[in-house]
Amino acid sequence: MTETNVATRGRSGSRNSRIALVVFGVAALALLAWVTGWWESHHTIFAQVMVSGLLIGSVYSLVSMGLSLVFGVLDIINFAHGALMSVAMYVAFVLARSYGVDPYLSLLVTIPLMFIIGVFVQATIINPVMDAPLHSQLLLTLGLSLFIQNLLLVLFTGTPRSIELPYASGSLGLGLVTLDFPFRLFGAVVTLPKAIAFIVSLLLAGALFLLLQRTRLGTAIRAAAQDPEGAELVGIDVRRVYLVTFGIGAASVGAAGSLILPFFFVSPTAGETFNIIAFVVVVLGGMGSIRGALAGGFLIGLTQELTQLFVPGSSKLIGVFALFILVLLLRPEGLFGSRT
Amino acid sequence: MKRLSKILMLTMVLGLIASACVSGTADTTATSTTQAATTTTAGQATTTTAAATTTAPAPAEPIKIGAIHPLTGGLAGAGIKMDNAAKMAVADINDAGGIASLGGANLELLSADSTGAAEVGQSEAERLIGEGAVGLIGAYQSAVTTNIAAISERDTVPLVIDVAVEDSILQQGYKYTFRVQPNATAMGKYGAEFLNDIATAAGETVTKVSYLHEESGFGTSVFEAFKAAAAGYGIDVVAEIPYGAFTVTDLTTEMTQAAAPKPDVIVVTGYYNDGVLAARAAQDLALDVKAVYGVADGAYDTPEFTSDFAGGEGFFDANYHYNAASAKVVEIRKRYEDQFGAQMDTASMLAYQAVLVLADAINRAGSTDPTAIRDALAQTNMTDHLMAYPGPIKFDSAGENVSAQPVLMQVQGGTVLQVWPAELQESQPKFPAVSWK
């Protein structure tokens, strides 16, 4: 059993081969860039592509981890994930606009609040259909997503809004070093909000790993994911585990909402953009695999930006969906998924 | 196997969602199936016919006109505002005594939601006509408007386009469709002309521009018109970078590519969300350009842009605009803000204007027969309109407003001001102008 695979069902593939696949994928893309000789004349653009890809990829990872966890444990494909993200973004937006709360401080509100909303949604809406056929669950979460979106439309109108960090362009003292934001990395621009989103996303991913691996709750969640009946037999309250899991899923997307607000915009459908990408990441990384979601987010971020570099004149997502199809053909269980 | 079928199912639904998200640009059948499921009225609408076109209601009965805009989905923000403006226009006309030539008959607005999808817009047009609408206004998106125009021609009920830019809508030989706003060719042509004018006036030279535009018909057609016109002023488009407006999460890479050939000016055509992302990227990169210049851009002339993004100071937008100098416009905008709690933008003013144009035609026709209204529309000559156009609203044989042209605006001191042409100036253009230099 691979420890980080909450949804390990049956024999898992070799971990080394999976890591090799990811490394190979990134290396192949980098090589392609290098071979075409663009490096000479376009190294700033290339650096920007890699930096932008990694920065946005970290957010994709965070959004995808929550989705993947819910799928791995509850076996539910949650289409309301993006709508929950919009809710968190509006909470952070209102706190920032009306009460002057720093968007990063609002993490202290959005994470617990989204956890509670997640638990509530699971308890009232999802739990009753846990044993229902897949398509009823799917339509239910799709309906929930439409409901939330239209509720937000009524409450906030559809006008996209955004906020700015007052200190986005300033300097940050880190002991001996002082960083002036936005700073340049190999010629590529890194802004403070994106750097913070990157670091906090990784920290939260680490926290989620620790929670799943090192705590009794995590053990219970993994047990419920592998064999709900067995878990019940040894005294785990599986329904309660489901509540907590959905709560964690919502909390992680809530954190993502707060983190992207300073460099994105909020509208009732803003989270949906990320949800589509998260689905690709989850399938790419292996459904139910947290590690897969983390790696997949970065891979999709890089693929999207590289597509823009090499296939200009089309939507960036073309490369993403091409990769998606390729993975489905070659490794349908996903890069980090277990074979059925 | 269960897992595999799950992945397949997910892929299919994902496809549907993805296409629904870009429905502002694409005419896919997948979109219509998802959207129709969410719009309860859309299903029944197709069964009704245009029987109502022959019934002329007695003057005492309200005269029904239809308004179709995206009231849900990614463009709901703009669509709801426009629908509110149309409602306000109808209320204003009724308060002022209704349609005089029909014994003071009141107007009644039938609002419909296109959901941003061409097929839904089309079936909603059929439904409204079936319910007795004698004229339509709409529809904010070119793809949706194209389909509605076809229905309006088939059912011989006039359509007054408030917002929709693509030239091709009125190149079908239609007799029942009229457009109040400038088309893509006018946007691109005047966009290039104004850029050359203000650069010359400031003693600067602009020879190279990079162009970022959203990839659908809207962005592409404006870009092509701009490029053709710019060549006449010795302005070269050195980089063209299209992007998907509804799926994009970051435009930093695109902006880096645009900046690579060292252009004098970055030109942008897109909607609001992507416009903000482009502006942020330009600021983050501290681009060494003389200006960021929108052409028909949905962001850089809006109140939200100036209030939400301080780096937008100095941004230009060559776009349709209400006549800021008109007292009537000031009064309408104030009432709109009081009533709906949001500033009235130009798209909303165009919706208001479209209702006035339609009501004026009904009044002159003295009839609720859609064909008579169409004939009256063709004779429109409205001088006291609300737009920043140099002449009266008057339609040519194709249905284009002969006076429609954009005006150049610039964010100055946190306010969007008209800066060119000289006769519509609220302030002098500042060029070069980027806030980060």
Tell me the pLDDT tens digit for each residue of B328-379: 999 999 999 999 988 898 999 999 999 999 999 999 999 999 999 999 999 9
Interchain contact A322–B (C-beta under 8 A): no
Sheet holding B136-138, edge to edge: B107-113, B63-69, B136-138, B159-161, B177-179
% pLDDT > 90, chain A: 46
B17: chain A residues, CB-CB within 8 Å: 79, 272, 275-276
pLDDT of residue B11: 63
Instruction: Annotate A90-126 with DSSP letters as a single string.
Output: HHHHHHHHHH---TTTTHHHHHHHHHHHHHHHIIIII
Interchain contact A151–B (C-beta under 8 A): no
CB–CB of B280 and A263 under 8 A? Answer: yes
Q: Tell whether A232 is covered by a domain.
A: yes
Closest-CA residue of chain B to A158: B77
Q: Which of B371, B373, B379, B372 is nearest to B395 (CA)?
A: B379
CB count within 10 Å of CB B208 equals 16
Give the pLDDT confidence of A284-315 residue by residue, as tens digits: 888 888 889 999 999 999 999 888 888 766 67
- Alpha-carbon distance values, B191 to B186, B207, B282, B318, B408 (Å): 8, 15, 20, 5, 8
Interchain contact A127–B (C-beta under 8 A): no
% pLDDT > 70, chain A: 89
Interchain contact A219–B (C-beta under 8 A): no
pLDDT of residue B43: 39
| CB of B8 closer than 8 Å to CB of A329 | no
CB–CB of A283 and B10 under 8 A? Answer: yes
- Alpha-carbon distance values, B259 to A188, B175, B389 (Å): 13, 45, 34
The answer on pLDDT for B107 being more than 90 is: yes
More confident call, A24 vs B195? B195
pLDDT of residue B2: 56
- Amino acid (one-letter) located at B22: V
Which of A245-254, B29-38, B340-349 holds the top average pLDDT? A245-254
The answer on pLDDT for B40 being more than 70 is: no
Q: What is the mean pLDDT of residues B282-295?
A: 92
User: Which B residues, 368 through 427, put their C-beta within 8 Å of a C-beta on chain A?
Assistant: none
Interchain contact A138–B (C-beta under 8 A): yes
Question: CA B42, CA B154: separation in Å to the nearest integer?
Answer: 19
Residue A147 is part of a domain; what is its CATH number? 1.10.3470
CB–CB of A153 and B76 under 8 A? Answer: yes
Torsion angles phi and psi, residue B405, rounded to 5: -155, 155
The answer on pLDDT for A69 being more than 60 is: yes
Q: Tell whether A79 is covered by a domain.
A: yes
Residue A206 distance to chain B (closest CA, Å): 24
pLDDT of residue B145: 95
pLDDT of residue A173: 67
pLDDT of residue B22: 43
Interchain contact B72–A (C-beta under 8 A): yes
Q: Tell whether A105 is covered by a domain.
A: yes
Q: Which of B277, B289, B316 is nearest to B300 (CA)?
A: B316
State which residues form the domain around A61: 15-33+45-157+182-330
Range scoring the smallest mean pLDDT among A4-8, B26-30, B52-56, B205-209: B26-30
The minimal CB distance from A305 to the residues B242, B253, B304 is found for B253
Q: Tell whether A169 is covered by a domain.
A: no
Q: What is the mean pLDDT of residues A249-277?
A: 92
pLDDT of residue B14: 61
% pLDDT > 70, chain B: 86
Q: Tell whether A171 is covered by a domain.
A: no
Question: CA B380, CA B376: separation in Å to the nearest integer?
Answer: 6
CB–CB of B13 and A138 under 8 A? Answer: yes
Compute the Cα dihedral for B183, A308, A86, B114 and give only its sign: positive
B9: chain A residues, CB-CB within 8 Å: 77, 134-135, 138
The mean of the pLDDT values for chain A is 86
More confident call, A178 vs B8? A178
Residue with tokens 């709900």: A228
Q: What is the mean pLDDT of residues A254-277?
A: 91
User: Which B residues, 226 through 255, put their C-beta within 8 Å of a C-beta on chain A?
Assistant: 240-244, 246-250, 252-254
What are the structural domains, with CATH classification, of chain B? 47-182+326-378 (3.40.50.2300), 185-319+407-424 (3.40.50.2300)
CB–CB of A312 and B241 under 8 A? Answer: yes
Range scoring the smallest mean pLDDT among A225-229, B35-39, B117-121: B35-39
The mean of the pLDDT values for chain B is 86
Interchain contact B18–A (C-beta under 8 A): yes
The minimal CB distance from A77 to the residues B10, B76, B286 is found for B10
Reported as a pLDDT band with limits 50, 70 and 90, residue A316 is: confident
Range scoring the smallest mean pLDDT among A106-110, B32-36, B184-188, B224-228: B32-36
Interchain contact B342–A (C-beta under 8 A): yes
pLDDT of residue B21: 46
Residue A333 distance to chain B (closest CA, Å): 8
CB–CB of A314 and B7 under 8 A? Answer: no
Closest-CA residue of chain B to A321: B15
Reported as a pLDDT band with limits 50, 70 and 90, residue B13 is: low
% pLDDT > 90, chain B: 70
Reported as a pLDDT band with limits 50, 70 and 90, residue A13 is: low
CB–CB of A314 and B242 under 8 A? Answer: yes
CB–CB of A56 and B249 under 8 A? Answer: yes
Closest-CA residue of chain A to B257: A45
B402-427 exposure pattern, b = at least 16 Cβ within 10 A, e = fewer: ebbbbbbbbbbeeebbbbbbeebeee
Mind spelling out the 3-state secondary structure of chain B?
A: CHHHHHHHHHHHHHHHHHHHHCCCCCCCHHHHHHHHHHCHHHHHHCCCCHHHHHCCCCCCCCEEEEEEECCCCCCHHHHHHHHHHHHHHHHHHHHCCCEHHHCCECEEEEEEECCCCHHHHHHHHHHHHHCCCCCEEECCCHHHHHHHHHHHHHCCCCEEECCCCCHHHHCCCCCCEEECCCCHHHHHHHHHHHHHHHHHHCCCCCCEEEEEEECCHHHHHHHHHHHHHHHCCCCEEEEEEEECCCCCCCCHHHHHHHHCCCCCEEEEECCHHHHHHHHHHHHHCCCCCCEEEEECCCCCCCHHHHHHCHHHCCCEEEECCECCCCHHHHHHHHHHHHHHCCCCCHHHHHHHHHHHHHHHHHHHHCCCCHHHHHHHHHCCCECCCCECCCCCECECCCCEECCCCCEEEEEECCEEEEEECHHHCCCCCCCCECCCC
User: Measured at the alpha carbon of residue B390, what is the angle toward residues B406 and B168, in degrees to the nearest 5?
Assistant: 45
Interchain contact B38–A (C-beta under 8 A): yes
Region for residue A102 given its phi and psi (left: phi exceeds 0; alpha: psi -120 to 50; beta: otherwise): beta
Q: Tell whether A120 is covered by a domain.
A: yes
CB–CB of B257 and A308 under 8 A? Answer: yes
Strand partners, A172: A179
Q: Tell whether A167 is covered by a domain.
A: no
The answer on pLDDT for B279 being more than 90 is: yes
| CB of B234 closer than 8 Å to CB of B207 | yes
Q: Which of B290, B239, B278 is nearest to B436 (CA)?
A: B290
CB count within 10 Å of CB B157 equals 26
Interchain contact B215–A (C-beta under 8 A): yes
Structure tokens at A330: 């070659």
Residue B242 distance to chain A (closest CA, Å): 5
Total domains present in chain A: 1
Torsion angles phi and psi, residue A332, rounded to 5: -60, -20
Q: Tell whether A72 is covered by a domain.
A: yes
Peptide bond into B303 cis (omega under 30): no
